[in-house]
Structures are given as structure tokens and as C-alpha cells.
Structure 1
Amino acid sequence: MKYITEEPIDLVGMLQETHHPAAGAIVLFSGEVRDHNGGKSVAYLEYESQISMASKMIALILEEAKSRWNLTIATAQHRIGKVKVCESAVVVLTASPHRTEAYASNRYIIDRIKHEVPIWKCEYFTDGTKEWGGNCNCHKETGDVNKHIYESENP
């Protein structure tokens, strides 16, 4: 599995690969580019990554989730390069015997990818401005660069 790609993510293809006879639940999360952020209209996003390190970190996160929740399948893919509004920037799929594990593990995986993997995004706005940041913008909500929304009691 290629964890980092410049190509559009194939949601249907990824979903087809997650079917497993022991899986009673499959959860697909697709993080998509929306047309606004922070009160500004978004034209598109551009992602950069340290590909080798990012791929290794995603593989490690997936392995940790598989053993923690006894998953039959866990996979993820993140785009780099230009990603248009309504396109998937990141996809996480988890499969397990029961839905509780599939949902919990999926949330764990996406949160860790967004907050730990070396991927940076630049938002290009329709007014011609742009803003660089990491995948994690939690500090804008929490007021603390070391505190993430998913760590709070009410995410």
C-alpha cells in the first residue's frame, strides 16, 4: 500500500480491498477539502511531506491500531500536491468483527496522522492569499500548541 500519493485517492478501490470474511464492520473516513476556512473562501490546498518518514509513521500507526483493536484491516492514504475542493486529502479504512472497534480505531488513526505525521498544508484562498500550516490546527481552538482537540473531554 502506498501511504502517500500525488494521485487522486481511489475510495472505491480502497473500500473493495478492505472486505474480509472476519469483518462485520468497515469504517471509511474521507477528509475532504472544503470551500471555506476561518471565514475565507478556499480555492484549493497543497500538501507537502517528508515522504519516507511519513510513510513509515503511517505504517507504524496502522500496526499499533491493528494490535490494539484486533483489526482485520487498517489502511490509510494521504495526498500530496494540489488537492481541489471536494477531493479527498486523506482516507482511513478500518475493518473489524464489530463496529465499536472499527469506529474507535479509525478515529485514533486519523487523529494520529493529522497530529504526528510530517505532512504540511498550504491553503490557497480565492482572494489570492495563502496560509501554511501543519495538518493540525488545534492550537487555534485550544490556545496551546501542545493540546489537541481529540485529547479534550468534548472533541
Structure 2
Amino acid sequence: MSVRVQTEDFDLGAEVAAIRAGRTDIGGIVSFIGTVRDLNEGDAVSTLTLEHYPGMTERALEAIVDEARGRFDILDARVVHRIGRLAPGDQIVLVITVSTHRGEAFAACEFLMDYLKTRAPFWKKEVTPAGERWVDARESDDDAAARWNCADERGAP
């Protein structure tokens, strides 16, 4: 299983062990863990709630992983994304890529994160001292995804 969306936390060591199980062809393993920050746009954040559409979200994540497999010489990839109410310091997302060589694993991991930030159908709501607010996409995330020279389903880079 290359994609999971779940409320429960994940364990990096267990996920790496699972992707490596029985394989001796892996020369490089790259992982990224995203966590909830306690500050966003100058405001303290007490909680972050992530919402999604079950089924649609998993299909979108699988498509992003499939695109990475087509672009990079990787042996496997795994994405675990949490939903629900999270607190600062909690883990949100895990991306693991494995390849025979480190370069492809690094590039694929970075590609996956750039595309997860811009194309994955998650909605984020923060609680701050001023109240609740939905988190808008950042221009810097769009710029990061655009450097891979891909158009999204709307035709935008």
C-alpha cells in the first residue's frame, strides 16, 4: 500500500522497515515528515484540523505517487497523511521514497511534497486567538510545484 489517509499517528521506523522488507536492491531511502507549526502568518495556532473527501483523496494521492514513479527511477514510494484535529508538534504527513541511488530518491521525495502541498485535496482549518480560519494555498507552494514543469488538471502550472 503506497498511500494511507488516517487519523492515527505514524511511526517513521515502522514505515521504513515496511518499505524495505525483503528488499536488497535499495541503495537510498529518503523521508520527509511534516509537522504542525505553532505559528502561521504571525498568529499563534492552537489546533489544525484537516478535512478530506474519503476515496477522492486517496485516488488523488495515488495519482501523485504514480506520477513520481513515472518521472523518477524509484523502486517504491509511500505517503501517509493524517486528518482530523492536530496540535502543534503533531506529525501531519510522511513521504518515503526508495531507489537504487540517492539522487532519484531525493528528487522524488521533493516532487511528492511539492505536489502534495498544491494538488492533494485536503482542507485545513486553524484555531488562533482571533478565532477559526481556513488556510489558503501559499504562492510559494505553487512556485515550488511549478518548477517541475507540470500542469495540473486545470491546465495551470
Q: Where do 1:31-46 residues align within 5 Å?
A: 31-46=34-49
Q: Where do 1:132-143 residues align within 5 Å?
A: 132-134=134-136, 136-138=137-139
The TM-score normalised by the length of structure 2 is 0.83
Cross-structure match for 1:70: 73
Please say which of residues 3-12 and 94-103 is displaced more in the overlay: 3-12
Deviation of 1:152 (Å)? 5.6
Cross-structure match for 1:80: 83
Please say which of residues 73-82 and 19-28 is displaced more in the overlay: 19-28
Inter-CA distance 152–64: structure 2 relative to 1 (3 Å threshold): closer
Letter in 1 for 2:132: K
Q: Where do 1:4-153 residues align within 5 Å?
A: 4-19=5-20, 20-125=23-128, 127-134=129-136, 136-138=137-139, 148-150=142-144, 151=146
CA RMSD of aligned residues (A): 1.9
8 Å CA contact 1:18–1:26 kept in 2: the answer is: no
Number of aligned positions between the proteins:
144
Deviation of 1:9 (Å)? 2.1
Percent of matched pairs sharing the same residue:
30
The TM-score normalised by the length of structure 1 is 0.84
Letter in 1 for 2:143: I
Runs of 4 or more consecutive aligned structure 1 residues displaced over 4 Å after TM superposition: none
Deviation of 1:137 (Å)? 2.1
Letter in 2 for 1:10: D
Q: Any unmatched runs of 5+ in structure 1?
A: 142-146
Q: Any unmatched runs of 5+ in structure 2?
A: 149-157
